[in-house]
Structure 1
């Protein structure tokens, strides 16, 4: 398998938009049936050897323990309960509306009853259609979807490697169905004061100072895949800090600086993984020092805190 294979947004945009909505449907099942965690850690997907998983949920809501997995090798959605029930169907040939119906049929078949509060896309610009009536998004190219999973899997382990150098509060590596990116976030213990008018998703996500590192596949605003990193809230002077490698740059995103390293610049470099890790580290070092984090105390070389190891 090639490291960082080509995945230009234009070549699979229609499939990505359909898959994004599929992921939101199952993600909202996870939101309804899982236990809430700080900073929404309960909501995102985790990677498996064949795709992505909701992880086990249920029990506390009266349902059996169950999981819903996307299998991007055989291209199926698989719902399973701890009691041995299993239901699956092919991901090919579905509109968002038919996928929505089949998903709830599969859950019903394993004895799971879940109601999602708002069965519409979340924060997808220009799309307020209910999932149940969306027949416009119906493209699923298994070659490109498998490629997406290959890239996702490689970045997942790269972010795990980056995570190993930090001993403070840090999220798991998460694949978010909201923005369809994959990220890991480091936290300080400093509370961030926010306005009551701030939306509740943002208030929970950014209730503490964070430095986040991740990757997204591109969208209309930035139509190409890229690695990214940001600090929230952004300390004064952050965008003036140098970045490595030289191809990385600061962009303004929603009024704050966002560090971006284009995927196509990385995949043709002599040391792709080293370039990305260096990029993440330069943003972290700049942001943490400007924000007054105790960088030395939080350092965890090689994932080891044992002083004798």
Structure 2
């Protein structure tokens, strides 16, 4: 993330460096290049295929030969990006609201991360599932899992929290917390905040975003919800529950 939206961060390319930024303030997809030869095009209603071809035309014009797998990940019934004429919406107001939610959430997550002296991921955004997350590790290997994503993501014991726009059984945006592997009795821990619940099917604690938003002090309510509440023999240091 940055002040205007989402970014790939700096990407090395031969002897050059560039980044792509979704600017949700001015509503532009911006190509920033270290040599100053920046380019951009507007974010507006257009098909995914049209966006895909416009993006790669912009990269080609900047002499950047990038290649990606055009098959979307972590979505049901994926349509190749360069052929998707079905999805074509863009609402500037809600794109900006989404960005503001990420900014306010990131502030709390950064404080949460800063209080942990062990290994922790940056506060980062998952492009596949569109969640903002932070994960703590204790350094111990976890039982092996199957799957291209989960075998690497959960190769070591960890505790994660995040914000997610929702989907499936979760009808709306929510904050979540989980541990992997899940300790025995994890879902029965007491002292949930108002609006908090444990979703057995996902093995995650959830706190709906609207409950936080309506709190007297949303940031304090969220911070209380994610700070360390107990010591567990599962991790060397305190971990996030609620």
Shorter-chain-normalised TM-score: which range? over 0.9
Question: Higher strand share goes to which structure?
Answer: 2
Residue 280 (1) aligns with residue 231 (2): no
Greater RCO, 1 or 2 (C-alpha within 8 Å, sep 6+): 1
Which residue is 2:115 aligned to? 165
Instruction: Tell me the CA shift for residue 274 of structure 1.
Output: 1.8
Q: 196, 211, 232: which is aligned to 1:248?
A: 196
- Aligned to 1:125, the other structure's residue is in SS state coil
Flag structure 1 segments of 5+ consecutive residues without an equivalent.
1-46, 299-309
Contact 1:87–1:109 (8 Å) recurs in 2: no
Count, aligned residues: 239
Q: 77, 82, 107: which is aligned to 1:126?
A: 77
TM-score (norm 1): 0.74
Instruction: Tell me the CA shift for residue 201 of structure 1.
Output: 1.6
Contact 1:235–1:290 (8 Å) recurs in 2: no
Residue 84 (1) aligns with residue 27 (2): no
Contact 1:210–1:231 (8 Å) recurs in 2: yes
Flag structure 2 segments of 5+ consecutive residues without an equivalent.
none
Contact 2:133–2:161 (8 Å) recurs in 1: yes
Contact 2:138–2:237 (8 Å) recurs in 1: no
Residue 289 (1) aligns with residue 232 (2): yes
Which residue is 1:304 aligned to? none
Which residue is 1:175 aligned to? 125
Over 3 Å counting, the alpha-carbon distance change for 1:63 and 1:106 in structure 2 is farther
Question: Higher helix share goes to which structure?
Answer: 1
Contact 2:45–2:91 (8 Å) recurs in 1: no
Question: Alpha carbon RMSD of aligned pairs, Å?
Answer: 1.6
Which residue is 1:264 aligned to? 210
Contact 1:64–1:112 (8 Å) recurs in 2: no
Q: 58, 64, 69: which is aligned to 1:106?
A: 58
Distance in 2 (alpha carbons) for counterparts of 1:191 and 1:91: 43
